[in-house]
């Protein structure tokens, strides 16, 4: 049976762990040649090995998404190795500092916004021209439930960056809608990733966060990954500029 991404090429940033790793694996399972990008060399290379062990094709490219030269090099490497770029999951991101807005340093603000928002824009900046050459493509950006709501106190820089991703997604969707490129965003709730483990180190904290999800549990990385793959697939051919919640119902409470 033909796979839906056979002969296509997918870039996944933040591919060394969590949602990014699950996304890279999901694209590979559907036949895509995958470029896993991450600043974490060990994690990224492990993701690639997992794909290869499952019979897929992938390469790792170390990439700091805050640096234009590195993002451009990542996309250039994709073209050098695979000759094209069909879809991208711009997923690289970090959490906030846990400080109130007045206690943030300028460096704190710049670091979170640069990785989460600027990094997503830089990826689009260099991915889109390659997709324009094909006359089609699909981009998915990872925002957050905190791109839709205020979330928790002491998280302003993270909330701002994730709201910004939604604005960027809508603006870019308009830029490319008539040119064959669809741009969408995913807003995950609490997902079992290394970030969640770091934020919720004890059972009581995790229980509290779980209670915010009407579905009664936190999510798994694979559930977000499958959504990213669907948004990049032909099945979502009439979907662009959307912000799709994958949050167990948190946003509707």
Hey, which residues are catalytic here?
158
Question: How far apart (Å, rounded) are the C-alpha atoms in residues 31 and 2?
Answer: 8
Given a contact cutoff of 8 angstroms between Cβ atoms, the answer to whether 157 and 109 are in contact is yes
Instruction: Yes or no: say if 60 and 83 are a contact pair by the CB < 8 Å rule.
Output: no
Six-digit token pair at 159?
Answer: 């909330």
Closest CA to 171 of 158, 183, 157, 186: 183
Q: How far apart are alpha carbons 54 and 67 in whole angstroms? A: 32
As given in the structure block, the two tokens for residue 134 are 């094909």
Sheet (strand 9-13) strand order: 57-62, 33-38, 9-13, 87-90, 137-142, 181-188, 243-246
Strand partners of residue 88: 11, 139
Q: What is the C-alpha to C-alpha distance for residues 167 and 143, in angstroms, rounded to an integer?
A: 10
């Amino acid at each position: 049976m033909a796979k839906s991404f056979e002969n296509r090429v997918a870039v996944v940033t933040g591919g060394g762990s969590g949602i990014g790793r699950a996304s890279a694996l999901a694209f590979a399972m559907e036949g895509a040649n995958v470029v896993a990008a991450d600043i974490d060399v060990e994690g990224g290379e492990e993701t690639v090995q997992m794909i290869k062990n499952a019979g897929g094709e992938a390469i790792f490219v170390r990439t700091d998404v805050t640096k234009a030269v590195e993002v451009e090099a990542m996309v250039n490497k994709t073209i050098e190795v695979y000759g094209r770029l069909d879809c991208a999951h711009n997923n690289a991101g970090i959490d906030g500092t846990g400080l109130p807005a007045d206690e943030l340093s300028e460096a704190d603000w710049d670091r979170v916004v640069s990785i989460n928002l600027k990094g997503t824009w830089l990826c689009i900046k260099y991915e889109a021209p390659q997709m324009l050459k094909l006359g089609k493509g699909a981009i998915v950006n990872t925002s957050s439930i905190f791109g839709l709501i205020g979330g928790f106190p002491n998280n302003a820089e993270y909330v701002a960056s994730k709201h910004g991703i939604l604005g960027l997604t809508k603006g870019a969707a308009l830029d490319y809608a008539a040119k064959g490129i669809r741009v969408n965003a995913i807003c995950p709730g609490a997902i079992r990733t290394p970030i969640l483990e770091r934020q919720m180190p004890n059972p009581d904290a995790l229980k509290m966060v779980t209670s915010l999800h009407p579905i009664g549990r936190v999510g798994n990385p694979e559930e977000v990954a499958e959504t990213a793959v669907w948004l990049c697939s032909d099945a979502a051919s009439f979907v662009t500029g959307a912000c799709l919640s994958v949050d167990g119902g948190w946003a509707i409470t």
